Amino acid sequence: MIIVLKPNISKKEEAAVLKEIKRLGYQPHVMRGVARTVIGAIGDESTHQSLEALTAWPQVESVTPIQKRYKLVSREAHPTNSTVKAGGTVIGGKKFVVMAGPCSVESEEQIITTAHAVKKAGATVLRGGAFKPRTSPYEFQGLGEKGLKLLAKARKETGLPIITELLSENHADLVAEYADILQIGTRNAQNFQLLIAAARTGKPVLLKRGLAMKIEEWLLAGEYVLANDNANLMFCERGIRTFETYTRNTLDLGAIPSIKRESHCPIIIDPSQGVGRADLVVAMCKGAAAMGADGLLIEVHPNPAKAWSDAAQQVTLEGFAKLMEELKPFIAAAGREL
Amino acid sequence: MIIVLKPNISKKEEAAVLKEIKRLGYQPHVMRGVARTVIGAIGDESTHQSLEALTAWPQVESVTPIQKRYKLVSREAHPTNSTVKAGGTVIGGKKFVVMAGPCSVESEEQIITTAHAVKKAGATVLRGGAFKPRTSPYEFQGLGEKGLKLLAKARKETGLPIITELLSENHADLVAEYADILQIGTRNAQNFQLLIAAARTGKPVLLKRGLAMKIEEWLLAGEYVLANDNANLMFCERGIRTFETYTRNTLDLGAIPSIKRESHCPIIIDPSQGVGRADLVVAMCKGAAAMGADGLLIEVHPNPAKAWSDAAQQVTLEGFAKLMEELKPFIAAAGREL
Amino acid sequence: MIIVLKPNISKKEEAAVLKEIKRLGYQPHVMRGVARTVIGAIGDESTHQSLEALTAWPQVESVTPIQKRYKLVSREAHPTNSTVKAGGTVIGGKKFVVMAGPCSVESEEQIITTAHAVKKAGATVLRGGAFKPRTSPYEFQGLGEKGLKLLAKARKETGLPIITELLSENHADLVAEYADILQIGTRNAQNFQLLIAAARTGKPVLLKRGLAMKIEEWLLAGEYVLANDNANLMFCERGIRTFETYTRNTLDLGAIPSIKRESHCPIIIDPSQGVGRADLVVAMCKGAAAMGADGLLIEVHPNPAKAWSDAAQQVTLEGFAKLMEELKPFIAAAGREL
Amino acid sequence: MIIVLKPNISKKEEAAVLKEIKRLGYQPHVMRGVARTVIGAIGDESTHQSLEALTAWPQVESVTPIQKRYKLVSREAHPTNSTVKAGGTVIGGKKFVVMAGPCSVESEEQIITTAHAVKKAGATVLRGGAFKPRTSPYEFQGLGEKGLKLLAKARKETGLPIITELLSENHADLVAEYADILQIGTRNAQNFQLLIAAARTGKPVLLKRGLAMKIEEWLLAGEYVLANDNANLMFCERGIRTFETYTRNTLDLGAIPSIKRESHCPIIIDPSQGVGRADLVVAMCKGAAAMGADGLLIEVHPNPAKAWSDAAQQVTLEGFAKLMEELKPFIAAAGREL
């Protein structure tokens, strides 16, 4: 840690800081600069107690950690890319993985039709919401277990593994019984109890980025999964919240190289939530493929105009097939295959 | 709802929209403007199905709701201010309520000392974290039930009701057994299952604003509490996330008049989380009192320099007593009393 | 315009609003909804006076314009893509245009070496700052006219047209004398007097997006150029300011399809400013090419480690040549060529 | 400066960094930590060349400056509060200064009526826009010099000094001829050439904060004024841009104690631009007075419902008189007087 002292403090005040640094197991290293005195505190920040409390000392101007706070998710800990298996699909390897399906499971016909169509177009995972977190208590909250059963039926018919959202610790076992991948939504991205519950099911976890989550916080939330003995973690960028209102969110495609640099875990892009309008989804998918994402999570609906939720951002079955065609040259250019 | 059609669409495309509007129980009202055709859809948006799915129709440019989406929390539903009772303390009335105490409960001595000191200085609720949501899994996660017991002991000694954070649905009964007010933290502000669990305990709920939560979304999250038969809701502004890094967050004091305008529920300000540095807390408290907040939630610690969490933002016992003195003229100017 | 009245207003208050709407040349159209009365005001918003002042009327809840505020830059006004010519380079057509060069012109050797290298690698425009807007008055402010002369020399040697920043109305003629494209920087993106001065030189203008500029505001700033009789406008996304600190800015690649949808003008991406770190630039370039950008603006320096400004984000000459190679398959996949 | 090296670099790579540090006139100070090697570079960052270029070196992880980048505006340079004089009004002293008037000067009657009314209510500076920066080229751009003449007439009649916006370098002499204070608007807050031109007139400068400007950048923009021999600088917070859409901007009242901590210059709050709705202005004014602002800049119009610009945020003459009455107890509580 680097501790910067305020200008013009007394010898006694400085000595007190040095003493506290030693007390917490670090070795202080004093540098007297032109305008400020700076202390380097040498020791392992991951095993010693934090020196951050020094910020509260009146003679201290700032305290800056040097070590990164995440470990198990970091590329330093695991230099090669890790992969995650769900059914027969491997995520993070040579194959570019497309997960597609409706925002909400609405009926047997809807989910089965969609499953067949997205499989035919090249998707290898089926998505569908059974439990839905909704901004208003008066909006459709999902079919619940009935939805899970319909997803399982669609899997049986098509062979596609399924991904669905987990939004309550109390549902962890139930959802894990049906799902191949548990999705943690953006509003629960720092619901650490839910992350622990998800990790403990042993199922792969796809962790969406919170609306206002910094890359470092996202990695640390992922660390909760790995630290609870579940190595099957994927990150999913789905748009952050900014001042811009033209799109629903601002899809931060820069998260792809950033996560790839810091972590060994796969990164998936959700363009549907990211922009919130189907007409911009195709361009976002191309960018994601080109920039090295490991896959996409796309909302597809047989009839978006009658969808029970998020109608504006779901693409049609035909639109999805066309999108997959248009995507191919970019996947190939990125050295991946479908 | 107001539906704007794209320019140059055919009669047939327009007729299809009108038909759908009628099918969903609304009465369409066509206005032909110079550049666009606009349709007003007349009907009760709160009982009819949403017309938002129309956004996905190719001939539609935009769909704008007219009615507000929140009801029970709204001032339209309840024009006078509502009050919340916790122990002997009434929040939202003539008295300006100060809730104070450490970020985390650390020991019996720490919490009892703090409780006596903040009571003496004028606080009427004791705060203290027993279960702590931490960005990293390697940080101190709170004393858990032991912390709750220490809070209860402090209440017994001082008579102060206690507020503490609830961060897991599975803890709802346990925490409600000890606490007088349940706090929902910023990272769980849209963890709707937790909001429902908190509401169902019947205890007063203090709902912190999420880091990237719009006023409307915050009101709707509060609606989850009232819609689950618990009228004892308080909102708590604690800083939003912006580009500014000088302070930890940007405390949006404008939320006070905004919430007062839209809702009847009390609004509390947490300046400690808001700015993250004790030296700026006093000014924020003065502003909050002046602008009509119903109270404050302040982090106070006997020795911030040795605190186990959030050292930089906790004020000392002496600092707190001084703050309360400095605050008095502003509370009086606002027509309130301690 | 759509005017929503507050609930429970009197007939007289409503009549006053209707009268004012008529006075300003619009025809009011009343719709009585369940919770609110809504008035559609029919008339050409671009020729009549704005009804926005109605927002200040106590009986009015909101006023929403229906027409778009930009005209000349809009795709509605000019459905096909427009192109901009600078020297022998055409921007916005089949060719994907790469503009490359140092952040600041530092010396003859530096700029000539760079010009030859970027040309060889495939760039068709040379960039270089002569007048530099710097956050601090104590930082290097550019070589000024001497820098312009060096750029002109580099153009003479290589044939590459040059782009350089204009940051003062008083320099407009001087900079236009040397430059083939005038760049308006992010901090001046709403410096309307500068936009007008730039437009009046008749030279092509590249308008960077402001740090906190909405798509609509950016289009309107561009409208200042076209409205001053200069049709040679390009937009340039260079990162917006968000809460994220991992990268210097958040490069909003979603601006590509958004601008393409709303406007006929070319869109260029500046990944160097966007992420502020050379190691992430390549991925951003691939994304931009894939998503339909018309070109890139890249900072290249013979020795970034000794650059006089923005060292961290400039790529080396070798790095640039490698980047151009890696980019080719993505440019081809997008149906463009170098 | 603190330079952190990447893990596992060679002795030779380290030696190269140390050599460069020495070459630039600093003395390196090596600390070998558990996970990283850290180098403190001792020397005066304000007179030596920056080490920031080291960020581009492959063996370097990060470079952090220790010294603050602003000098003349800093409280370190000038520990007591400075004051600014405009006509008979002193800003930054015991008196709390209210500057009030219309968004735009529209007519003689409008500005004279307003001037008398705001003076009577307690304002001591008259505001009014003559040159207006407008988002769209089709909006009213101000009366120009005619507006300045009307302001001068209002000053003659009431004795109130006037503040008006300067938005072009070419207008600096003209505007300075009429105005007592030059206002630099939010869109020009980092238009450094304009800041220099304003400074050189010798007139007091009120510098509004940019929409996405960090406190540090704002102080550095102010530094441009003082570094050009003009000590009469005031900062003016007027709302930053965030994700919130309930208010026009997010008024960051935390800027008051932040600026007071870092700088000796007065700080003024503009609640009208800050929230963009007259009904919230009063609460913001109370907060600003309570938190230690030196004054307010308030938009007042005889008939906001017919204003030519920003109708929604202007208060009426009666509203302003009432506001001033309501404000008095808060000004007194803050130890100031009108």
Question: Is the pLDDT confidence value at C67 over 80?
Answer: no
Of chain C, the percentage scoring pLDDT greater than 70 comes to 99
Of chain A, the percentage scoring pLDDT greater than 70 comes to 99
For residue D54, what pLDDT is reported?
86
Classify the phi-psi angles of A267: left when phi > 0, otherwise alpha if psi is within -120 to 50, otherwise beta: beta
Tokens of residue C149, six digits: 């002369």
- pLDDT band at residue D55 using 50, 70 and 90 as cut-offs: confident
**Once rounded to an integer, what is the mean pLDDT over residues A12-28?**
90
Residues A58 and A90 in one domain: no
Closest C-alpha among B10, B21, B15, B35 to residue B63: B21
Decide if B328 is inside a domain.
yes
- pLDDT tens by residue, C200-209: 999 999 999 9
The Cα A13–Cα A15 span in angstroms is 5
Q: How many residues are present in chain D?
A: 338
Q: Provide residues of C within 8 Å CB-CB of chain B.
A: 2, 4, 7, 29, 31-36, 38, 40, 42-45, 64, 66-67, 76, 212, 241-243, 245
- pLDDT tens by residue, D58-72: 888 888 887 788 999
Lowest mean pLDDT, pick from B110-114, B299-303, D27-31 = D27-31
Decide if A79 is inside a domain.
no
**Once rounded to an integer, what is the mean pLDDT over residues A6-12?**
88
The count of other CB atoms within 10 Å of the CB of residue C8 is 9
Q: Which residues of B touch A53 (CB under 8 A)?
A: 304-307, 311
Residues C51 and C93 in one domain: no
Higher pLDDT, D175 or B39: D175
Is residue D201 within 8 A of residue D172, CB to CB? The reply is yes
Residues A240 and A276 in one domain: yes
Report how many Cβ contacts below 8 Å link chain A to chain B: 129
The one-letter code for the residue type at C334 is A
- The domain in which residue C24 lies consists of 2-64
The number of angstroms, rounded, from the C-alpha of D54 to the middle of its chain's C-alpha atoms is 32
Question: Is the pLDDT confidence value at C335 over 90?
Answer: yes
For residue D35, what pLDDT is reported?
75
Give me the DSSP letters along B191-234. Answer: -HHHHHHHHHT-S-EEEEPPTT--HHHHHHHHHHHHTTT---EE
The Cα C203–Cα B77 span in angstroms is 59
The Cα B99–Cα C192 span in angstroms is 49
- pLDDT band at residue B47 using 50, 70 and 90 as cut-offs: low
- pLDDT band at residue C47 using 50, 70 and 90 as cut-offs: low
Domain C-terminal end among C13, C34, C64? C64
Decide if A71 is inside a domain.
no
Question: Is the pLDDT confidence value at C41 over 90?
Answer: no
The Cα B98–Cα B118 span in angstroms is 9
CB-based burial of residue B173 (10 Å sphere; 0-12 exposed, 13-18 middle, 19+ buried)? exposed
Q: Which residues of A touch B307 (CB under 8 A)?
A: 53, 56
- pLDDT band at residue B34 using 50, 70 and 90 as cut-offs: confident
Q: Do D2 and A38 touch (CB under 8 A)?
A: yes
Interacting residues of B77 by C-beta distance below 8 A, sequence separation 6+: B71, B264
The Cα C128–Cα C224 span in angstroms is 25
Residues B52 and B140 in one domain: no
Residue among B33, B34, B67 minimizing CB distance to C36:
B67
Helices B278-290/B317-333 angle, 10° precision: 20
Q: Token match 């090697």: residue?
A: D37
For residue A128, what pLDDT is reported?
97
Question: Is the pLDDT confidence value at A45 over 90?
Answer: no
- The alpha carbon dihedral of C189, C194, C199, C202 has a sign of negative
Residues C265 and C129 in one domain: yes
- The alpha carbon dihedral of D263, D265, D271, D273 has a sign of negative
Q: Do A191 and B192 touch (CB under 8 A)?
A: no
Residues B245 and B112 in one domain: yes
Residue among C245, C254, C280 minimizing CB distance to A247:
C254
The Cα C295–Cα A298 span in angstroms is 28
Is residue C274 within 8 A of residue A254, CB to CB? The reply is yes
- pLDDT band at residue A290 using 50, 70 and 90 as cut-offs: very high
Residue among C215, C280, C292 minimizing CB distance to A258:
C280
Q: Do D137 and C192 touch (CB under 8 A)?
A: yes
Closest chain A residue to the Cα of B193, Cα to Cα: A168
Give me the DSSP letters along D61-76. Answer: EEEE--S-S--TTBTT
- pLDDT band at residue A48 using 50, 70 and 90 as cut-offs: low
Q: Which residues of A touch C251 (CB under 8 A)?
A: 253-254
Decide if D72 is inside a domain.
no
Residue among D187, D220, D311 minimizing CB distance to C53:
D311
Residues D126 and D90 in one domain: yes
State residue B73 phi and psi, 5-degree precision: -80, -10
For residue C46, what pLDDT is reported?
65
For residue A173, what pLDDT is reported?
97
The one-letter code for the residue type at B193 is Q
Which other chains touch chain B, taking contact as 3+ CB pairs less than 8 Å apart?
A, C, D
- The partner residues of B2 in beta bridges, in order of sequence, read B40, B64
Higher pLDDT, B199 or C65: B199
D9: closest CA of chain A, how far (Å): 14
Q: Which residues of A touch C288 (CB under 8 A)?
A: 287
Interacting residues of C10 by C-beta distance below 8 A, sequence separation 6+: none
Residues D90 and D50 in one domain: no
Q: Do B133 and A227 touch (CB under 8 A)?
A: no
Closest chain C residue to the Cα of A330, Cα to Cα: C333
Residues B182 and B301 in one domain: yes
Mapped onto helix, strand or coil, the DSSP state of residue B149 is: helix
Lowest mean pLDDT, pick from B69-73, C85-89, D31-35 = D31-35
For residue A55, what pLDDT is reported?
82
Q: Which residues of D touch B256 (CB under 8 A)?
A: 283, 287
The Cα B32–Cα B5 span in angstroms is 10
**Once rounded to an integer, what is the mean pLDDT over residues D92-107?**
97
Mean model confidence pLDDT for chain B: 93
Mean model confidence pLDDT for chain D: 93
Decide if C74 is inside a domain.
no
Residues A237 and A325 in one domain: yes
For residue B13, what pLDDT is reported?
92
**For chain D, what is the domain count?**
2
The Cα A235–Cα A209 span in angstroms is 7
Closest C-alpha among D285, D57, C113 to residue B257: D285
Higher pLDDT, A33 or C185: C185
Q: State the DSSP code for C107.
A: -
Tokens of residue C324, six digits: 């151009």
Closest chain C residue to the Cα of B250, Cα to Cα: C243
Residues C97 and C22 in one domain: no
Task: Measure Cα distances from A116 to A109, A125, A305, A313 in Å.
Answer: 11, 11, 20, 20
**Once rounded to an integer, what is the mean pLDDT over residues B41-46?**
76
Of chain B, the percentage scoring pLDDT greater than 70 comes to 99
Mean model confidence pLDDT for chain A: 93
Lowest mean pLDDT, pick from A159-163, A325-329, D35-39, D285-289 = D35-39
Give me the DSSP letters along C268-333. Answer: EE-HHHHH--HHHHHHHHHHHHHTT-SEEEEEB-S-GGG-SS-GGGPBPHHHHHHHHHHHHHHHHH
- pLDDT tens by residue, A213-227: 999 999 999 999 999
Is residue D25 within 8 A of residue D43, CB to CB? The reply is yes
- pLDDT tens by residue, C134-148: 988 988 899 999 999
Closest C-alpha among B171, B265, B187 to residue B226: B265
State the virtual CA torsion across A316, A322, A328, A329 in degrees, nearest 10.
-130
For residue B48, what pLDDT is reported?
66
For residue A56, what pLDDT is reported?
80
- pLDDT band at residue C33 using 50, 70 and 90 as cut-offs: confident
Question: Is the pLDDT confidence value at C44 over 90?
Answer: no
Domain C-terminal end among B13, B31, B64? B64
Question: Is the pLDDT confidence value at C334 over 80?
Answer: yes
For residue C69, what pLDDT is reported?
86
Decide if C76 is inside a domain.
no
- CATH number, domain containing residue B25: 3.30.70.1140
Closest C-alpha among C36, D132, B55 to residue A248: B55
Mapped onto helix, strand or coil, the DSSP state of residue C16 is: helix
A129: closest CA of chain D, how far (Å): 27
The Cα D52–Cα C321 span in angstroms is 25
- pLDDT tens by residue, C245-286: 999 999 999 999 999 999 999 999 999 998 888 889 999 999
- pLDDT band at residue A46 using 50, 70 and 90 as cut-offs: low
Q: Buried b vs exposed e over D200-223: b needs ≥16 C-beta within 10 Å? A: bbebbbbbbbbbbbbbbbbbbbbb
- pLDDT tens by residue, B204-214: 999 999 999 99
Question: Is the pLDDT confidence value at B32 over 90?
Answer: no
Classify the phi-psi angles of D201: left when phi > 0, otherwise alpha if psi is within -120 to 50, otherwise beta: alpha
| Cα atoms found within 13 Å of the Cα of residue D110, Cβ hemisphere only | 22
The Cα D154–Cα D148 span in angstroms is 10
Interacting residues of A308 by C-beta distance below 8 A, sequence separation 6+: A103, A104, A106, A140
- CATH number, domain containing residue A150: 3.20.20.70
Entry pTM: 0.95
Is residue D314 within 8 A of residue D281, CB to CB? The reply is no
Decide if A73 is inside a domain.
no
- The alpha carbon dihedral of C172, C178, C180, C182 has a sign of negative
Higher pLDDT, A102 or A38: A102
- pLDDT band at residue C306 using 50, 70 and 90 as cut-offs: confident
Lowest mean pLDDT, pick from A299-303, A321-325, C81-85, D28-32 = D28-32
Q: Do B307 and A56 touch (CB under 8 A)?
A: yes
Closest C-alpha among C42, C43, C41, C44 to residue C71: C44
Cα-based angle D305, D309, D310 (whole degrees, multiple of 5): 75
Q: Which residues of A touch D245 (CB under 8 A)?
A: 245
Cα end-to-end span (Å), chain A = 46
Residues A134 and A264 in one domain: yes
**Once rounded to an integer, what is the mean pLDDT over residues B49-62?**
82
Q: Which residues of A touch D33 (CB under 8 A)?
A: 40, 42-43, 66-67
Tokens of residue D115, six digits: 């001037």
- The partner residues of B19 in beta bridges, in order of sequence, read none
Q: Buried b vs exposed e over C121-130: b needs ≥16 C-beta within 10 Å? A: bbbbbbbbbb
Report how many Cβ contacts below 8 Å link chain C to chain D: 131
For residue B46, what pLDDT is reported?
66
Decide if B39 is inside a domain.
yes
Report how many Cβ contacts below 8 Å link chain A to chain D: 63
Question: Is the pLDDT confidence value at A47 over 70?
Answer: no
Q: Token match 């666009």: residue?
A: B36
The number of angstroms, rounded, from the C-alpha of B40 to the middle of its chain's C-alpha atoms is 34
Q: Provide residues of B within 8 Å CB-CB of chain D.
A: 212, 214-216, 240, 242-247, 250-254, 256-258, 261, 274-275, 279-280, 283-284, 286-292, 329-330, 332-334
Mapped onto helix, strand or coil, the DSSP state of residue B188 is: helix
Question: Is the pLDDT confidence value at C35 over 80?
Answer: no
Domain C-terminal end among A30, A64, A98? A64
Q: Which residues of D touch C168 (CB under 8 A)?
A: 169, 193
Q: Which residues of D touch A245 (CB under 8 A)?
A: 245
